[in-house]
Amino acid sequence: MAEIRSSQAQPKSEPGHPAAQPQAQGGPVEVSAIRRFLLSRGNSAIADRGFSWLMLLCALSIFGIVVLIATELMQRSHLAWSTFGLSFFFSAFTDPDTKLTMFWDPINGHFSALPFLYGTLVSSFLALLLAVPLAIGVAIFLTEMCPQFLRGPLAFITELLAAIPSVIYGLWAVFVLVPLLREHVNPVLIQLLGWTGFFNDDNPTGLGFVSAGVILAIMILPIISSLTREVMSAVPHSQREAVLALGATRWEMIRMGVLRNARIGIVGGVILGLGRALGETMAVTMVIGNTPQIQRSLLSNGASMASVIANEFAEASSDLHLSALTEIGLALFIVTIIVNALARVLVWAVTRGAPARVG
């Protein structure tokens, strides 16, 4: 910077001050022609430094946010932590009157996060089970076999799916998906797979883990498929050509040339989808049934970590209740941080540091 500036200033200063003169007069005082010129344009050294500090501050605020979330949640959940300790996450108790196993009883002050951990895991796992094969199929179609004119609109549609707010997914699920599953899909499941014990017909509402899993699958599909597409198009063309040259069919080419090379990135995309599914709130809250229980049947009502917070936080009255809900939030925060970091590392490993974009 300074060099550019001074070379510009030199010609003007030369008539009055020959280059040797400042030195002869002994000092930094008489470099002033250049200096005066610079000062007349405002002291950009200070402004420049200030600006870069300001920008650095903005960048550091991202760390600040993470630290802020962590400390606030820890502070607020301290009461629950000191009351229950680690057993908060796996204890259960028996109700003295009804002899039933209970987990969550705000009125009597018994709190255990176990049913919510279970609900989150089961619904997310169901969602992945449904979404992953579909997402990989879509990515294969888009990168390997789709005619050029369809590629743009289809990518746009997947983008749109990612942009729909979760409350609208929830609204649609409550009034369209749940009745559909209740009338047509659940009876079939009960008839075919009822013997496994995973599908019982004791819940006439249609709400429950299966409904939550299906709507979650629809919601995480775009994320998984767009990331899978990204890592698959990062596989070099020479790989495909080499496999084809060996006499492979198209499917063999995709399997051996593309999927095998992209598998780490695909796993990253799946984990990223898992991260979304774990934290998804509104749609799940609306269809999971919000009952803190652990049942073998996937058609029974349940509750997830995010759904119980959304459902009870605004109405929670006791400090312990609030604190317990915050502790669930803290657990959710830590888990999603770990899951997302893992996914980013995996995706970066494949696309070699190229920015991984979602949506």
Partner 1 sequence: MAILSTVLVVAPLVAIFAYLIYKGASSLSWAFFTQIPKPEGELGGGMANAIVGSAVLLGISSAIGIPIGIGGGIYLAEFGRGTKLANMVRFTADVLNGVPSIVMGLAVYSLIVYRQKHFSAFSGGVALGIMMIPTVCRTTEEMLLMVPHAVREAALALGVPNWRSVLSITVKTASPGIITGCMLAFARVAGETAPLIFTAFGNSNWSVNPNEAISALPLQIYNYAISPYDDLHKLAWAGALVLIVLIVLAVSLVRFVASRGILKGAS
Q: Hey, which residues between 125 and 144 contact partner 1 (CB under 8 A)? A: 133-135, 137-138, 140-142, 144
Binding residues among 335-354 for partner 1 as defined by CB under 8 A: 336-337, 339-341, 343-344
Nearer to partner 1, 261 or 281 (CB): 281
Q: Other C-beta atoms within 10 Å of 202: how many?
A: 9
Task: State yes or no: residue 179 binds partner 1 (CB under 8 A).
Answer: no
The minimum distance between CB 31 and partner 1, in angstroms, equals 18
**Residue at 276: amino acid letter:** R
Binding residues among 36-55 for partner 1 as defined by CB under 8 A: 41-42, 44, 47-48, 50-52, 54-55
Task: State yes or no: residue 279 binds partner 1 (CB under 8 A).
Answer: yes
The H or E element spanning position 269 is: helix 260-279
The minimum distance between CB 194 and partner 1, in angstroms, equals 25
Closest CA to 234 of 356, 146, 137, 359: 356
Task: State yes or no: residue 355 binds partner 1 (CB under 8 A).
Answer: yes
HSE value, Cβ hemisphere, 13 Å, CA-based, for 61: 6
Task: State yes or no: residue 90 binds partner 1 (CB under 8 A).
Answer: no
Which DSSP state fits 175? I
Task: State yes or no: residue 191 binds partner 1 (CB under 8 A).
Answer: no
| Gap between the Cα atoms of 86 and 182, Å rounded | 38
Q: Which residue among 34, 178, 235, 356 contacts partner 1 (CB under 8 A)?
A: 356
Nearer to partner 1, 297 or 303 (CB): 303
Segment near partner 1 (CB under 8 A); pick from 185-193, 228-236, 277-285, 292-300: 277-285
| Gap between the Cα atoms of 359 and 50, Å rounded | 35
Task: State yes or no: residue 60 binds partner 1 (CB under 8 A).
Answer: yes
Task: State yes or no: residue 10 binds partner 1 (CB under 8 A).
Answer: no
Residue given tokens 């080419």 in the structure block: 253
Task: State yes or no: residue 58 binds partner 1 (CB under 8 A).
Answer: yes
Helices (H) and strands (E) in the chain, counts: 16, 2
| Gap between the Cα atoms of 98 and 24, Å rounded | 102
Q: Which residue among 31, 174, 190, 242 contacts partner 1 (CB under 8 A)?
A: 174
The minimum distance between CB 272 and partner 1, in angstroms, equals 7
> Cα-flanking dihedrals φ and ψ of residue 338, to 5°?
-65, -50
Task: State yes or no: residue 359 binds partner 1 (CB under 8 A).
Answer: yes
| Gap between the Cα atoms of 309 and 316, Å rounded | 10
The minimum distance between CB 105 and partner 1, in angstroms, equals 21
The minimum distance between CB 171 and partner 1, in angstroms, equals 5
Nearer to partner 1, 179 or 197 (CB): 179
The minimum distance between CB 172 and partner 1, in angstroms, equals 5
Residue given tokens 């409550």 in the structure block: 174
Segment near partner 1 (CB under 8 A); pick from 161-169, 202-210, 230-238, 258-266: 161-169
Nearer to partner 1, 310 or 320 (CB): 310
Nearer to partner 1, 21 or 67 (CB): 67
Q: Other C-beta atoms within 10 Å of 238: how many?
A: 10
Residue given tokens 């050029």 in the structure block: 148
| Gap between the Cα atoms of 68 and 102, Å rounded | 34
Task: State yes or no: residue 170 binds partner 1 (CB under 8 A).
Answer: yes
| Whether the Cβ atoms of residue 130 and residue 142 lie closer than 8 Å to each other | no
| Gap between the Cα atoms of 194 and 175, Å rounded | 26
Instruction: Give the total of residues touching partner 1 (CB under 8 A).
Output: 94
The minimum distance between CB 134 and partner 1, in angstroms, equals 5
Task: State yes or no: residue 248 binds partner 1 (CB under 8 A).
Answer: no
| Gap between the Cα atoms of 84 and 68, Å rounded | 24
| Gap between the Cα atoms of 235 and 144, Å rounded | 11
Angstrom distances, CA of residue 15 to CA of 20, 68, 208, 274:
12, 60, 87, 72
Task: State yes or no: residue 319 binds partner 1 (CB under 8 A).
Answer: no
Task: State yes or no: residue 165 binds partner 1 (CB under 8 A).
Answer: yes
